[in-house]
Amino acid sequence: MLDSKIRNQLEEIVGQERLLEKPEELICYSYDAYLEESMPDLVLLPVTCEEVSKIMKICSSYKIPVTARGAGTSVCGASIPIKHGIVLCFSQMNKIMEINTKDRYIIVQPGVVNIDIQKALEPFKFFYPPDPGSMNVATIGGNVAQNAGGPRCLKYGVTADYILGMEVVLASGKTVRFGSRNVKDVTGYRLSGLFCGSEGTLGIVTEIILRVVPLPETIKTILVTFDDLDDTARSVSDIIGAGILPVAMELLDKLTINAIEDSANLGFPREAQGSLLIEIDGVKEACEKEMQKVIEKVKANNATSIKEAKSDKERDELWEARRSAFGVFAKLAPDIFSEDVTVPASKIPSMIRKTVAIAQKYGLKVGILAHAGDGNMHPMIPADKSNKEEWERVEKAFDEIVEAAVSLNGTLSGEHGIGLAKTRFLPLVMNEDSIEFMSVIKKAVDPDGILNPGKFV
Amino acid sequence: MKSTVLQNCNKCGLCLSVCPTYKVLNQEHASPRARLQLINFYKDKKVLSSIGLKEIISKCLMCGSCAAICPSGINHYSQFMEMRTKMRHDHGEKVAIKSLIFLLAKEYRIRLAAGFAEFSQRIIPDNFIEKYNLGNIPVKKFPKLNKKPLRKAVPEIISPEKSKKGTVLYFTGCATNYAFDGTGFATIKILKQMGSEVIIPEKQTCCGIPMLFHGARDQAEKNILINIECLSQDDVKAIIVDCPTCGSALKNEYPALQKQLNLDDTAVQKISSKVIDIMSFILQESDHTDLFETSVKMKVTYHLPCHLKNGLKSSYNTEKILREHPGLEYIQAEDVDECCGGGGTFFYEYPEISKQMVATKLKNARSTGAEVWLTDCPVCRINLSGNLKEKDNMIVKHPVEML
């Protein structure tokens, strides 16, 4: 519980309306899209940088834990206040400050939802490429904190590749600014890269300058099916290996396709062992040429059918089906365990084989779903958390999947983050000195450890 | 691979993107996900019942958009309804809402009240009517009540115009019966033209939804039983509704309550399978184009009610007819399928939130330049027309009145 004197000081900053303290309100900020829960002592909804700065000054002088939150869609528990204290929720600090497509940037507050950035840019025929699955809900502040990805990051890169500058409130309450409105800028350290992906452990981002790009002239989308999952995976490695760069290349196995068909009946081939959803964009001629090369590669790997989307509507349907994958899987059991390990493109076939074998070993169902082009795997295990014995098997399988990825020069997480979910695996990919180096930075910036404590650093 | 188990909320947050209240307030504690979590905490006795809890549970339009988008297929609707019952039990209800429930629970009370209100509308001094608002809506803008309830103005059995192509039951709902008889007359006229014998069961009464939304399940039960009885008629090919909320009550909520209220399962399922909104029924029957009145020439726009979209799952039928109709120039509003903020009594209970929702609707409808704003739902209709300004020169109607 927070001392009433401190509480009153905080109320003076944000006012009564934006300070939450009743149990039924606090509960609503005790969770995100991860499996755990932890109650905050107080929730504040700041709307300006000044408010954040004042709040941080108080929190640092009393050493109160502060966990920043956007829309609470983290799947690794990054926004769960595991050490209690204060949740700073940014969902109401959601103004778009400037749109400048001539100079190709947009300036936003952290609470702006990703999809609202897309909508604001559309009239100018521009877009902001990172497209996490939660883009209709998730805020850009959360995207930045987690260095969010998405299907089209294969071609366009992830959140960190689009940050030109940012304004950050430090643990001390001081406000610092890095970067500028310029794509080229080597003035000082590139600190935006340090804060992006720091999961709120180093500072509180209060404004972001994002690079934006023109919408492509043409988009071509195909759905390819295979009789063999190995052929499917090899096609991915071959396409990437040949220097072709699709916007997205999504892999779905038989179990996943059938789960989608059961709920939506989109006419996906149920017999196929593997399917690839491939999208190419750019100027028309280049698109056609690239697509030709893609088709050669999948044919060489025994593709059984290739279907091109004939209209925007057909294209939307294919993507709709892909996006529904998580949901339809979630319906197979009370809970769902979704993974995020990532391996180099050439290792995709072996990673898939290993995943299937691990699931078999533990008697679990697994759906293989992947942003395959960049090796970002999302195997999904439907299970029942209340069934202790089954859940133990799920956790063991999960451990082995992570170990398998690491053994293939892969990494723990492609786009979901470490948060509460994967801290214990860090030593698998980082040596002691590397982990210690992160702590050195953390201590220098946040000596009292008040920013999102209890997470990976 | 059909699911048989009860799903857990995975807390993915997708429901936040479609929740009208969340979109206005941008607060997790005004989101469907939060309401579900609180219901779970309450069940596990990790949070106690309180006025604050009731407030969070009630600050919801019951539009059903969260359930429609939920990847885990959770039925938010019935969970919310059950929780509302508990909260009403623990903390009571506002006097105005209580009176509404009291009225709707007995047909004769509705009739008396409507008669009195119709009378009052004539005798209440104009300066009172000019001055007062109910929620956002000026009292003077509420619909004038029917001189005579629709069901008293027409016979119980109406013969078709030409050769009989079957019999339909018409569930008029309270709004059409007491306030919007124009919708009722138009519905009957079209059904007759289509060759339907129309039966309007005399005993039918309020579908029960307003009571269920406010947690008054016991009061709703009696109405539900009466309606099941008078709608269970053999040799009827459809049960026509003009109100999407009544429609989704008959189609979805009665079956959902079957176990709890020990309703006759066969009867409930039969009714559910026959319920259809008038616009979809017109579209479904062949040769509907000859029903169009071609002498009209009008620019119209449309608002898709949430319960038509999420309850009756009939998102496109009305618009399809509007596009086909040679006498109408249909211009789609940008946010045609966004909630208007009416939500039963939401506009009365949370006028500040409702106002923000309807403001965007008004802006987009105005920019279509339409003379008539069509919508199938009577509450949407009251909310939209109540918020239009004199200078807007736009009237709100049920689409069936345009054929």
List the CATH number of the domain containing A230. 3.30.70.2190
Query: Could you give phi then psi for residue B153, rounded to 5 degrees?
Result: -90, -15
Pick from B2, B27, B56: which is nearest to A91 by CB?
B27
CB contact under 8 A, A24 and B53: yes
A115 interfaces chain B, CB cutoff of 8 Å: yes
Same domain, A314 and A381: no
Give the residue on B whose Cα is nearest the Cα of A336. Answer: B10
Same domain, B116 and B200: no
Q: CA–CA separation, A133 vs A111, rounded Å?
A: 17
Query: Could you give phi then psi for residue B90, rounded to 5 degrees?
Result: -75, -35
The candidate with the shortest Cα–Cα distance to B282, out of B180, B168, B203, B150, is: B168
List chain B residues with pLDDT less than 50: 1-5
Same domain, A314 and A233: yes
> CA dihedral defined by A269, A274, A275, A276, rounded to 10 degrees?
-170
- Of A453 and B296, which is predicted with more confidence? A453
Minimum distance, in Å, between the CA of residue B363 and any CA atom of chain A: 18
- Of A375 and B129, which is predicted with more confidence? A375
> What are the angstrom distances between the C-alpha of A359 and each of A337, A354, A367, A382, A396?
12, 9, 10, 11, 10
CB contact under 8 A, B37 and A31: yes
Same domain, A125 and A85: no
A451 part of a folded domain: no
Name the domain boundary from B229, B263, B284: B284
A452 part of a folded domain: no
pLDDT at site B265: 96
A456 part of a folded domain: no
Same domain, A338 and A326: no
Longest dimension (CA), chain A: 71
Same domain, B300 and B366: yes
Q: Is residue A324 scored above 90 in pLDDT?
A: no
Structural domain total, chain B: 4
Instruction: Kindly report the number of other CB atoms within 10 A of residue A355's CB atom.
Output: 24
Same domain, B36 and B109: no
A392 part of a folded domain: yes
A118 interfaces chain B, CB cutoff of 8 Å: no
A183 by Cβ neighbours in 10 Å (0-12 / 13-18 / 19+) ranks as: exposed
Domain range for A60: 4-89
CB A75, CB A97: distance < 8 Å: no
* Amino acid at position A142, single letter: G
Same domain, A229 and A167: no
Q: CA–CA separation, B183 vs A442, rounded Å?
A: 67
Instruction: With a threshold of 0.90, tell me whether the complex ipTM lies above it.
Output: yes
pLDDT at site A328: 81
Same domain, A251 and A306: yes
Name the domain boundary from A289, A305, A331: A331
B256 part of a folded domain: yes
Same domain, A78 and A124: no
Q: How confident is the model over A20-50, as pLDDT tens digits? A: 999 999 999 999 999 899 999 999 999 999 9
A36 interfaces chain B, CB cutoff of 8 Å: no
Average pLDDT over residues A141-152: 96
Mean pLDDT of chain B: 89
A454 part of a folded domain: no
Q: CA–CA separation, B237 vs B169, rounded Å?
A: 8
CATH code, domain carrying A369 = 3.30.70.2740
Same domain, B68 and B182: no
Task: Please report the sign of the dihedral spanned by the C-alpha atoms of residue B89, residue B90, residue B94, residue B95.
Answer: positive
Query: Could you give phi then psi for residue A168, rounded to 5 degrees?
Result: -130, 135
* Amino acid at position A259, single letter: A
Pairing of strands A175-179, B328-330: unpaired
Residues 23 through 52 of chain B touching chain A, CB cutoff 8 Å: 26-29, 31, 34, 37-38, 41, 46-48, 50, 52
Minimum distance, in Å, between the CA of residue B4 and any CA atom of chain A: 8
Same domain, B241 and B265: yes
Same domain, B75 and B99: no
CB A183, CB A173: distance < 8 Å: no
Give the residue on A whose Cα is nearest the Cα of B55. Answer: A24
Q: CA–CA separation, B398 vs B400, rounded Å?
A: 5
Q: How many CB pairs under 8 A join A and B?
A: 105
Tell me the sheet residues that pair with A376: A342, A371
C-alpha angle B189-B339-B40 in degrees, rounded to nearest 5? 120
Q: What is the 3-state secondary structure (H, E, C) of A301-334?
A: CCEEEEEECCCHHHHHHHHHHHHCHHHHHHCCCC
Same domain, B104 and B85: no
Q: Is residue A386 scored above 70 in pLDDT?
A: yes
CB A164, CB A413: distance < 8 Å: no
B57 part of a folded domain: yes
Name the domain boundary from A331, A361, A395: A331
CB contact under 8 A, B72 and A330: yes
Which chain A residues are Cβ-neighbours of B6 within 8 angstroms?
Answer: 334
Q: CA–CA separation, B208 vs B100, rounded Å?
A: 11
Residues A95-119 as b/e (b if ≥16 CB within 10 A, e otherwise) read ebeebeeeeebbbbbbbbbbbbbbe
Name the domain boundary from B50, B66, B91: B91
Name the domain boundary from A214, A240, A271: A214
Pick from A28, A324, A336: which is nearest to B29 by CB?
A28
Q: CA–CA separation, A188 vs B261, rounded Å?
A: 70
Name the domain boundary from B122, B141, B160: B141
CB contact under 8 A, A24 and B47: yes
pLDDT at site A456: 87
Same domain, B58 and B46: yes
* Amino acid at position A55, single letter: I
Minimum distance, in Å, between the CA of residue B8 and any CA atom of chain A: 5
Q: CA–CA separation, B84 vs B171, rounded Å?
A: 26
Same domain, B379 and B327: yes
A227 part of a folded domain: yes
Average pLDDT over residues A398-405: 96
Give the residue on A whose Cα is nearest the Cα of B42. Answer: A24
Instruction: Kindly report the number of other CB atoms within 10 A of residue A197's CB atom.
Output: 18
Same domain, A230 and A202: no
A448 part of a folded domain: no
Which chain A residues are Cβ-neighbours of B70 within 8 angstroms?
Answer: 327
Same domain, A255 and A206: no
Same domain, A184 and A239: no
B9 part of a folded domain: no
Same domain, A162 and A80: no
Same domain, B67 and B159: no
CATH code, domain carrying B156 = 3.40.50
CB B278, CB B240: distance < 8 Å: yes
Same domain, B174 and B249: yes
Domain range for B129: 95-141
At B41 the three-state DSSP class reads helix
Structural domain total, chain A: 4
Minimum distance, in Å, between the CA of residue B219 and any CA atom of chain A: 29
Same domain, B196 and B233: yes
A94 interfaces chain B, CB cutoff of 8 Å: yes
CATH code, domain carrying A181 = 3.30.465.10
Pick from A33, A94, A385: which is nearest to B11 by CB?
A33
Q: How confident is the model over A157-169, as pLDDT tens digits? A: 999 999 999 999 9
A145 part of a folded domain: yes
